Structures are given as structure tokens and as C-alpha cells.
A = this chain, B = another copy of it.
Amino acid sequence: MSQATDTYVRTHAERMLEELKDLLRIPSISTYPDNAGDVARAAQFVAGKLKDAGLENVEVIPTDRHPLVYADWLHEPGKPTVLCYGHYDVQPPDPLELWHTPPFEPTIRDGNLYARGSADDKGQMYMHIKAVEALMAVYGKLPLNLKFLIEGEEEVGGLSITKYVSQNQAKLQADAALVSDTSLYAEGIPTLCIGLRGLIYLEVEATGPARDLHSGLYGGAAPNAVFGLVELLAKAKDAGGRIQIPGFYDSVAEPAAAEIASWKSLPFVESEFLEKEVGASVLTGEADRMVLERVWSRPTLEVHGIAGGFTGAGAKTVIPATATAKVSMRMVPDQDPEKMYQAFVEWVAANTPAGIKTKVTQLSLGPAVVVNPDHPAIHTAAEAFQDVMGRPCVFTRSGGSVPIVGDFARHLGIPTVMMGFGLPDDGLHSPNEKFKLDNFYLGTMTVAHFFEKYGA
């Protein structure tokens, strides 16, 4: 464990933070067409910092949507090569009125850095770049070979990077990938994530009458698009939270007994999870599964948003002609997302109420992924983590999706070290997203140690 890189990070902490704040000020919201210029600006910013850190062959690669940023340093033949991934795009910040300080004006409070993207993923991606800077500054070279591939479409399904990885297998070849887009299990517990759920994201549009109708004159006989959509969606789960799409659970793999046992040993307190994180009256879902199974190894169906009819202030007595819902299904091993999407489409067709027409549109689709904790890169990362934090590393899964991990496995045949420094209460995708400042520095040091150890 290198004191020198640690010292470098501590000495340059303030400047590194200012750089990260500059990146966080760019509202690189990938889903809004109006922000495309900001997304491009963030790509240029990242490219500049990769170059400043000492990486070579820096490219901003145009795609059908938002650019990719590539860089490498390949002067240690015979040593391993790590492919570092991150994303510089962010989720929309709404509802804006719930932010205590503006989402794109990074603010420090109580040792935390508040901004949209602080933890997901600008702050975590930036640790990789600063680890390179520290190693280059201290040693004048890197302890192993590195490639960087950073995208701007992670929050919108990442189609461009998937295409790029599949078409550039030789250029991107590596021994392992490194992704910092996950969390510590809890403050102070070194954590490697070895499983991610996949994601199918889609829209369901319902159409009833040809136009909005007066509910007095037609109510009782005319189909109502909002109610039709409500009736349809309600059938997707039973009262116990079990998803009713035919065949949905057929291919679901159960985690190994040892993995379940290790989850049971984690300091998970259901009442704290409920009160401090979720903030509802009770938890829901499959009552016969422990909570960590429900969020890590069980598939889900969620409605993320719904809109239709009159929703302004006051009263309007219409029978709405159309209504739309955003729906996702989280996939687990060994579900086939293509098959599950088809099953959903067929289920919608079979369950659409009389008088209503429905249309399903796919927005993105990715499988679940699990990595082998015995691979040398994972093993070494766990040791580096343990060295820095002084306690054994735990292996968890995440219920979220990082589709690139599946792409790396499929197209490059490499495992991914998912070494994240977020905390469970960082508020990813929520108002007041934050990243603990200590973890930004600790993460930078740990990544540098992992590179040293894996190169040794």
C-alpha cells in the first residue's frame, strides 16, 4: 500500500474537488434533447482531464446520440490491462422544488458534495482519472496498462457504447474492466458488487375514444383511456407483489446457498431501511423473500410514471382519449430480456380492457449479470479495498443496472470489478443527490492501490 499516492491525493484534494465541481456544473442530462449541447460539453471536459492526467490517444468519438470518450496508456507490455468505464451523463433533476440547493450548483454541506451526478456517476468516474494523475505524478508512469471508455448515454440505455464495444473488440481488449457506479454496503464496509439486475424499459400507451369526451354526456358508455390503462396495469401484480406476466419467473435463478448466507450476515436492519431510506409505512413485495433478495436477486415490475387526461388545477369533466405509462422490469439471472419483453407485449394484448387500444414501445433492454469473485482482478480489488479500509471486503449484488457490465462480458469476455464508493443514502436519481467527500478521496486512493497491486 503506497503512502506516496495517498499523500499526493491529500495534498491536491482541494484542487481535485474544484475540478469535479466544474464538471458537476454542466447539466449533462442525456434524456433531454435540449441538453445535448451540455452533454457534448461534459464529454470535452472529461477528454481534457484524461489528457491532463497523462493518458494518451484521447478521442471524443461521435455516435448517433452522445459522444464516447476514449484514452489509453499502454507502456507496460506483460502487465495486465484494465478497461476503466464511467459515465458523464446524469438523470433529470426534477422535482426541482425539493432540492435544498440547485442541482447544478455543487454545494458542500456536512462533508457531503450535493449535486446531480455527484455520486452517479461523475464523482465516481472522476476518481479513476485522479488515481491516474496521482500515479503518474508520483512514479512518472503507470503500474499497468489502462484504457478508458466513458459514455454519455448511461441514463438513457447506452445504445451507442454497446454498439461501439461490439464493433471495437480488439481496440478495447483488456484483462478486466473497472466500474465505479455502485455503493459501499454501508459506511466503512469495503464492498465489491458481483451481480447486477438487468433492465427492460418501455412505454405503454392506451387509447379510448377518438377525442376527449364530456363525461356527463358519455360517462357510463364510453371507454376511458386512463381507466383502461389503470385496469391493465393493476393486473400486472397480485396483492402480494407477484408479477402476473406468464412465464415471468420460469428462468429466475436462485442465488447459491453460500451467497444467501453471506447476505444474512450483513448488518441489514429492516426497520432502518424502511424508516431512513424508503420512508414509507411498510415495505412491500414478495413477503416470503428477505429484503436483500427482493432488491438484489428477484425480478421486478415498476410503473415509473403515468399521465393522461386533465391534471391541472381544479376540475375538468373529460373522458380522456389517451394515457401513457412508463414501465420497467428488472431482470435477474437467467431471465432472457428479449423473451420477457415479448411476454409483456403478449400479456398487454391479452389483458387490454374492452374498448381500449394499447401500444407498447421499447426504450431499452439489458440482461442481468454476475461476475466470479475468484477472478484475479476481483480478488486483487478485494485485497486493495481491505488494505485501505482495514476490514474484510464483502461481496454484494446491486438491484440497479449497469448494462455495460453485460456488454464487457459478452463482447470482450472480461469480468468487471464493480468497486463503488457511494452510500445507500446518496439519493441517486432523487432530489439532493450527494457524494461523501471522504469517499471521493478514499475511492481515488483505493483505485490507485488496486492498479498498483494488480500490476505488481
Residues of A within 8 A of B (CB): 30-33, 91-92, 94-95, 98, 155-157, 197, 199, 201, 208-224, 226-227, 230-231, 233-235, 237, 239, 241, 273, 277-286, 291, 294-295, 298-300, 302-320, 323-326, 328, 330, 353-357, 363-364, 398-401, 424, 427-431
Among B199, B273, B317, B354, the residue within 8 A (CB) of A284 is B354
Q: How far is the CA of A273 from the CA of B244 in the complex (A)?
A: 36
Contact: A310 with B278, CB < 8 Å? no
A-B contact pairs, 16 of them (CB 8 A): A31-B315, A94-B312, A209-B278, A217-B424, A219-B295, A219-B399, A220-B286, A220-B300, A222-B280, A230-B230, A302-B317, A302-B319, A305-B316, A306-B323, A311-B324, A317-B400
- A432 → chain B closest CB, angstroms: 8
User: Which residues from B are CB-within-8-Å of A214?
Assistant: 400, 428-430
Contact: B285 with A220, CB < 8 Å? yes
> With A221-B294, A278-B210, A280-B223 given, is the CB distance from A315 to B285 under 8 Å?
no
Contact: A304 with B318, CB < 8 Å? yes
> With A221-B295, A317-B328, A324-B311 given, is the CB distance from A305 to B226 under 8 Å?
yes
- A90 → chain B closest CB, angstroms: 11
Contact: B309 with A304, CB < 8 Å? yes
- A396 → chain B closest CB, angstroms: 11
User: Which residues from B are CB-within-8-Å of A235?
Assistant: 234
User: Which residues from B are CB-within-8-Å of A237?
Assistant: 227, 231
- A219 → chain B closest CB, angstroms: 4
Contact: A280 with B355, CB < 8 Å? yes
Q: How far is the CA of A248 from the CA of B251 in the complex (A)?
A: 45
> With A227-B237, A233-B230, A430-B214 given, is the CB distance from A295 to B220 under 8 Å?
yes
Q: How far is the CA of A181 from the CA of B10 in the complex (A)?
A: 77
- A155 → chain B closest CB, angstroms: 8
- A108 → chain B closest CB, angstroms: 21
Contact: A309 with B298, CB < 8 Å? no
> With A280-B209, A285-B221, A430-B211 given, is the CB distance from A315 to B398 under 8 Å?
no
Instruction: Return the chain B residue nearest A215 by Cβ.
Output: B302
Contact: A217 with B302, CB < 8 Å? no
Contact: B310 with A305, CB < 8 Å? yes
